[in-house]
């Protein structure tokens, strides 16, 4: 019987979900076209050097931020906390457990905390954003894969077990893991806060670095349609893998590479993992 890290049902602060990703891209117009036409995201706001996008059912201002720059990169992964008082507790937690934390002023967000975990992963925590109209019934705005909402991130790291233990201490629950049967030395872990299989995934590899971020799509045919649109637009080679079905999580999926090489997943079909008696797989 493998001994797993303990689940903390009364965490030191309350993370609610994976929230947003901040990327650097070389050409804002090209990246905007990719994410609106193929992934089907909605532009909330644009300046000369930044585009803010959200999924069609998202009410919060943004789940993807594109910033113009010379060197494509993932700047930060965003997590929502329940209330702003949780940000103060999060700052104490990260500083007490080998990470760093500092307050930041971020446009279109409430009080924001920039943290780096003990293994070098940069995160952005906030509790509030401006509210925008949901486009879930704005059918004339629906395009490509019709990305509904941000669901999860996957990160490569040489510290899978240690990252799992750290984030479980912060209140994440382990839904699934991949490991040999001789002890808990996982090659991959799936951690959740919002009650489905995962918000944050760690797999063994050089890093920490972003492997992909994922948007939920309404139906399987939207995955296929996004591939067809990509092909017609000359992005056929960016369809990296799939459509197919994952083992862990059982989601039907397709991976795309955006014009700068960032990997984005469209997927559907998740199961619930809310109840406390649900066992880790």
pTM value is 0.96
User: For each of the chain's 281 residues, which pLDDT tens digit applies?
Assistant: 688 999 999 999 999 999 999 999 999 999 999 999 999 999 999 999 999 999 999 999 999 999 999 999 999 999 999 999 999 999 999 999 999 999 999 999 999 999 999 999 999 999 999 999 999 999 999 999 999 999 999 999 999 999 999 999 999 999 999 998 888 999 999 999 999 999 999 999 999 999 999 999 999 999 999 999 999 999 989 899 989 999 888 899 999 999 999 999 999 988 999 999 989 99
CA–CA separation, 238 vs 144, rounded Å? 14
CA–CA separation, 134 vs 136, rounded Å? 6
Residue whose C-alpha is closest to residue 119's, from 173, 76, 158, 168 = 158
Residue 105 exposure: Cα atoms within 13 Å on the Cβ side:
0
- Residue 192, beta-bridge partner list: 173
Dihedral of alpha carbons 112, 110, 190, 35, sign: negative
Sheet holding 149-157, edge to edge: 173-178, 188-192, 200-204, 149-157, 209-216, 263-268, 252-257, 239-245
* 3-class secondary-structure state, position 162: helix
Nearest-5° angle of CA 103, CA 212, CA 220? 125
CB atoms within 10 A of CB 266: 30
């Amino acid at each position: 019987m493998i001994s797993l890290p303990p689940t903390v049902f009364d965490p030191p602060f309350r993370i609610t979900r994976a929230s947003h990703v901040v990327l650097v891209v070389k050409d804002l117009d090209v990246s905007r076209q990719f994410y609106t036409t193929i992934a089907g995201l909605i532009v909330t706001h644009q300046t000369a050097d930044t585009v803010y996008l959200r999924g069609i059912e998202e009410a919060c201002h943004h789940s993807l931020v594109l910033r113009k720059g010379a060197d494509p990169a993932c700047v930060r992964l965003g997590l929502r906390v329940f209330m702003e008082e949780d940000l103060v507790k999060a700052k104490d937690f990260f500083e007490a457990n080998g990470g760093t934390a500092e307050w930041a002023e971020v446009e279109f967000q409430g009080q924001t905390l920039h943290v780096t975990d003990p293994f070098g992963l940069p995160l952005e925590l906030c509790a509030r954003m401006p509210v925008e109209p949901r486009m879930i019934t704005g059918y004339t705005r629906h395009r490509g894969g019709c990305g509904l909402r941000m669901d999860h991130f996957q990160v490569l790291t040489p510290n899978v077990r240690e990252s799992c233990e750290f984030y479980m201490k912060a209140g994440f629950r382990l839904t699934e893991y991949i490991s040999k049967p001789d002890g808990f030395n996982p090659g991959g872990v799936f951690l959740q806060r919002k009650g489905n299989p995962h918000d944050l995934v760690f797999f063994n590899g050089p890093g920490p670095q972003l492997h992909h971020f994922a948007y939920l799509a309404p139906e399987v045919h939207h995955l296929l349609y996004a591939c067809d649109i990509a092909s017609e637009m000359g992005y056929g080679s960016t369809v990296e893998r799939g459509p197919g079905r994952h083992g862990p999580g059982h989601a039907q999926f397709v991976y795309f590479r955006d014009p700068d090489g960032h990997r984005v997943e469209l997927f559907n079909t998740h199961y619930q993992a809310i109840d406390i008696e649900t066992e880790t797989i």
